[in-house]
Structure 1
Amino acid sequence: MASEMDELKKTVALLQREVTRLSDQEEVRKLQYKYGYYLDKCLYKEVADLYSDHPDTCVEFLGGRYNGKDGVKRLYIGRFANSFVKGRNGPVHGFLLDHPQIQGIVDITPDGTRAKGRFRSMMAAGTHESIKDTHPRGLVQWWEGGLYENEYIKEDGVWKIFRLKYFPFWHATFEKGWSYTKPNYIPFLSTTYPEDPLGPSELCDNPMLWPDTRVVPFHYEHPVTGEQVADDDLRAPEFGKDASTSTPALVLSKPKSDA
């Protein structure tokens, strides 16, 4: 009887851990989806509040890394708000910036305090013709596709964004599509803070934009083989050429505290 009770207790404990893990996965997935909904409507204060206060918190975007909560605010409440909505928190009439968050794959660490997630975004953006003379973007409309490889942290029982790494893969105008997009359609960030008051804390190595098609490394191993994709297979050489002729494979940054 005692043996059966011990086995039952073990089973219950395993089930409790599994329920917690699944609940954490869903909470992280919801966190990322909520991030997208706030970002859609230029609610940049709400976006910044989703981030951890951990000193290794960061956002990586267009070849720049914004470090710490101050860096997060400098990007969203500073650069984005000034560029898109003239400094306000919230949308402006006639400006579209939708960021659907899709294909979410979330993995929780064994201790239940950290998580990693891979998501895709397919953005539709632009201005209505009625504001072409009043919005600094003029009359414009474009598509954007990108990938996130993010890290999350659980603080005082609440999941927060820890390190958001967004790789905008491609941009395309409605008129010509992606086949005619100019290389580096959106210029990479090149000047750091404080020289640029709204600039990143540091620059990232080997940034990429379409037609560069390198693979953003996966945070997870192959579900059948248990292996990671080989570095050379993450590269994108020209058709028929050896991988060694390509730009080096992308490498995901790690928190300094984990080094």
Structure 2
Amino acid sequence: MTVDLFANHRDTYVQFLNGRFRGKDGVRRLYIERFSKTFVQGRNGPVHGFLLDHLQAQDVVDYYSNTSPPMAKGRFRALMSAGTHESMDQKTLPRGLRQWWEGGLYENEYIKEDGVWKIFRLRYYPFWHGTFDKGWQYTPPDYVPPFAKTLADGDPLGPDEFVQNDERLWPDTRAVPFHYAHPVTGKMVEEADLRAPLLGTDPKEAKPARLIVDSFA
């Protein structure tokens, strides 16, 4: 099960959109209670006619031997093709027949727990979505709306807390900071180069770059 991939650590969490789901209870709430039950009625396996191909590529993983327990960081690009086949019964689909493209990025952290590598902090930034008929050019801003309430505020499937970092979707194209330096120069990417100013305008006038908080040094 997905939940078993995560560490038994008080600071374990999944960051998705503008929310953080803390601990294994939070992981279960997001992946099992929210995703699995919504898309496939809780089945731990494939469902006829439902597609969710989730490719991860361009992976960069760094191992840190000077930490206790041993830790690692990983950066991955995600490309997703998802949707439902027209033969599926619409009455059983909470969101009806639909299909979409999705692209995002992971900046994750891992720890070695009892000799086994486990996910410590999973941060997924789903940058853009596009329908098949019009593509991403006409995708409404924040196609997937941010969380409006936390678990404590009354959303039984909501995050434990919000990420105070103005996380937005396409057409916001601010980059996620790299956990590693340039492989040739040894320099970190400057904050201004992670911003996404309007074409031809001064980056200093644009929104601040995204942040990765709570990252181990």
Q: Same fold per TM (> 0.5)?
A: yes
Task: Tell me how far apart the structure 2 counterparts of residues 192 and 248 of structure 1 sit (CA, whole Å).
Answer: 25
1:200 equivalent to 2:159? Answer yes
Task: Tell me how far apart the structure 2 counterparts of residues 91 and 79 of structure 1 sit (CA, whole Å).
Answer: 17
1:226 equivalent to 2:186? Answer yes
The one-letter amino acid paired with 1:232 is A
Task: Tell me how far apart the structure 2 counterparts of residues 132 and 242 of structure 1 sit (CA, whole Å).
Answer: 51
The one-letter amino acid paired with 1:129 is E
1:66 equivalent to 2:21? Answer yes
Deviation, structure 1 residue 146: 0.6
Match of 1:108 in 2: 63
* Cα shift readout 1:41-74 (whole Å, capped 9, x = no counterpart): xxxxx11110001111000001111111111111
From 252, 255, 258, give the equivalent of 2:212: 252
- Which structure has the highest strand share of the two? 2
Looking at CA atoms only, which structure, 1 or 2, has the larger radius of gyration?
Answer: 1
From 46, 49, 61, give the equivalent of 1:91: 46
Match of 1:147 in 2: 105
Deviation, structure 1 residue 245: 2.3
Deviation, structure 1 residue 198: 0.7
Flag as ranges the 4+ runs of structure 1 deviating above 3 A.
Answer: none
The one-letter amino acid paired with 2:200 is G
Q: Secondary structure at the match of 1:178?
A: coil
The one-letter amino acid paired with 1:108 is Y
Deviation, structure 1 residue 132: 4.7
Q: Secondary structure at the match of 2:137?
A: helix
**Unpaired runs of at least 5, structure 1:** 1-45
Greater Cα shift, 110-119 or 54-63: 110-119
Task: Tell me how far apart the structure 1 counterparts of residues 145 and 201 of structure 2 sit (CA, whole Å).
Answer: 27
For the structure 1 residues 247 and 168, does the alpha-carbon distance in structure 2 shift closer, same or farther, using more than 3 Å as the test? same
- Which structure has the highest helix share of the two? 1
From 112, 127, 136, give the equivalent of 2:84: 127
Do 1:127 and 1:137's aligned partners in 2 also have CA atoms closer than 8 Å?
no
Counting only pairs closer than 5 Å after superposition, residues 19-30 of structure 1 correspond to structure 2 as none
**Unpaired runs of at least 5, structure 2:** none
Aligned residue pairs total 212
Deviation, structure 1 residue 123: 0.3
Do 1:206 and 1:247's aligned partners in 2 also have CA atoms closer than 8 Å?
no
Task: Tell me how far apart the structure 1 counterparts of residues 170 and 121 of structure 2 sit (CA, whole Å).
Answer: 23
Deviation, structure 1 residue 206: 1.1
Task: Tell me how far apart the structure 2 counterparts of residues 200 and 99 of structure 1 sit (CA, whole Å).
Answer: 23
Task: Tell me how far apart the structure 2 counterparts of residues 132 and 180 of structure 1 sit (CA, whole Å).
Answer: 28
TM-score (norm 2): 0.93
1:235 equivalent to 2:192? Answer no
Task: Tell me how far apart the structure 1 counterparts of residues 184 and 16 of structure 2 sit (CA, whole Å).
Answer: 32
TM-score (norm 1): 0.78
Do 1:190 and 1:203's aligned partners in 2 also have CA atoms closer than 8 Å?
no
Deviation, structure 1 residue 110: 2.5
Deviation, structure 1 residue 87: 2.7
Counting only pairs closer than 5 Å after superposition, residues 34-45 of structure 1 correspond to structure 2 as none
Task: Tell me how far apart the structure 1 counterparts of residues 160 and 46 of structure 2 sit (CA, whole Å).
Answer: 27
- Percent identity, aligned pairs only, is 62
